[in-house]
Amino acid sequence: MMNVAVQDRAAPPWEPAQTEQLELYRQLQLIRVFDETVLELRTAGEVEGVVHPYIGEEAVAVGACSQLRPDDGLTSTHRGHGHCIAKGADPKRMMAELFGRRDGYCGGKGGSMHIADFGIGMLGANGIVAAGLPIACGAALSYRMTGSDRVAVCMFGEGAVGAGPFHESMNIAQLWQLPVVFVCENNGWAVASPPEQILAPESVTALAAGYGMAVEQVDGNDVLDVGSAARRAVARARAGGGATLIEAVTYRMVGHAYRGGDVAEQRDAKLLESWRQRDPLLRLAARLRRDGVDESALDAVAAAARTEVDEAVAFARNSPYPEVGDALKGVFAA
Amino acid sequence: MNGTQLSYAAAVDGVIADEMRADERVFCMGTSPPPALVSEFGPERARTTPIAESAMTGMAIGAAGSGLRPIVLWSCVNFSFVAFDQVVNQAARIRYMFGGQQDFPIVFRARYLNGTRSAAQHSQTAYALYAHAGGLKIAVPSDAGEAVDLMRLAIRDPNPVLFFEPDRLAGDTVAATERAEPRPLGRAAIRREGTDVTIVAIGYMVPLALRAAHRLAATGVSAEVIDPRSLVPLDADTIRGSVQRTGRLLVVDESMPACSMASEIVTAVVEDTASCSALRAAPRRLCTENAPVPFSGVLEDFVLPGEDRIFEMARELSGDVLERAASFV
Neighbours of A253 (CB within 10 A): 18
For residue B26, the SS3 value is: strand
**Mean pLDDT of all residues in B210-239:** 98
Tens of pLDDT, residues B3-39: 899 999 999 999 999 999 999 999 999 999 999 999 9
- Read off the pLDDT of residues B156-201 as tens digits, 9 standing for 90 and up: 999 999 999 999 999 999 999 889 999 999 999 999 999 999 999 9
The C-alpha torsion from B109 through B113 and B116 to B120, rounded to 10°, is: 160
Of B58, B96, B135, which has the smallest distance from its Cβ to A131's Cβ?
A: B58
B97 touches chain A (CB under 8 A): yes
A193 or B229, greater pLDDT: B229
CB A318 within 8 Å of CB B83? no
**A 282-301: CB under 8 A from B:** none
> What are the chain B neighbours of A107 within 8 Å (beta carbons)?
99-100
Contact residues on chain A for B102, CB-CB shorter than 8 A:
118
Check pLDDT > 70 for residue B1.
Answer: no
Phi-psi region of B247 (alpha: psi -120 to 50; beta: other; left: phi over 0): left
Q: Are B20 and A145 in contact (CB under 8 A)?
A: no
Judged against a pLDDT cut of 60, whether residue B122 lies above it is answered with yes
The upper half-sphere exposure of residue B138, i.e. CA atoms within 13 Å in the direction of its Cβ, equals 27
Which residues in chain A are closer than 8 Å to B48, comparing Cβ atoms? Answer: none
| pLDDT tens-place string over residues B74-111 | 999 999 999 999 999 999 999 999 999 999 999 999 99
B128-149 pLDDT, tens digit per residue, is: 999 999 999 999 999 999 999 9
Is pLDDT above 80 for B329? no
Number of C-beta neighbours around residue A143 at 10 A: 27
Residue of B nearest to A178 (CA): B59
Query: Quick check: pTM over 0.90?
Result: yes
What gap in Å lies between CA B285 and CA B257, rounded to an integer?
8
Q: Could you tell me which of A94, A93, A102, A96 has the C-alpha nearest to residue A54?
A: A94
Q: Which helix H or strand E contains A84, and what residues bound it?
A: helix A81-87
Residue A3: the pLDDT is 36
User: What is the pLDDT, as a whole number, of residue A185?
Assistant: 97
Contact check, Cβ <8 Å, B55/A134: yes
For residue A244, what pLDDT is reported? 98
Walking along chain A (334 residues) 10 residues at a time, the average pLDDT comes out as 43 86 98 97 95 96 98 97 98 98 98 96 95 98 97 96 97 98 92 84 93 97 97 97 97 89 77 94 97 97 98 98 96 95
Chain B residues inside the 8 Å CB shell of A105? 98-99, 101
pLDDT the model gives residue B2: 56
Nearest CA in chain A to B136: A332
Answer for the pair A109, A100: CB distance below 8 angstroms, yes or no: no
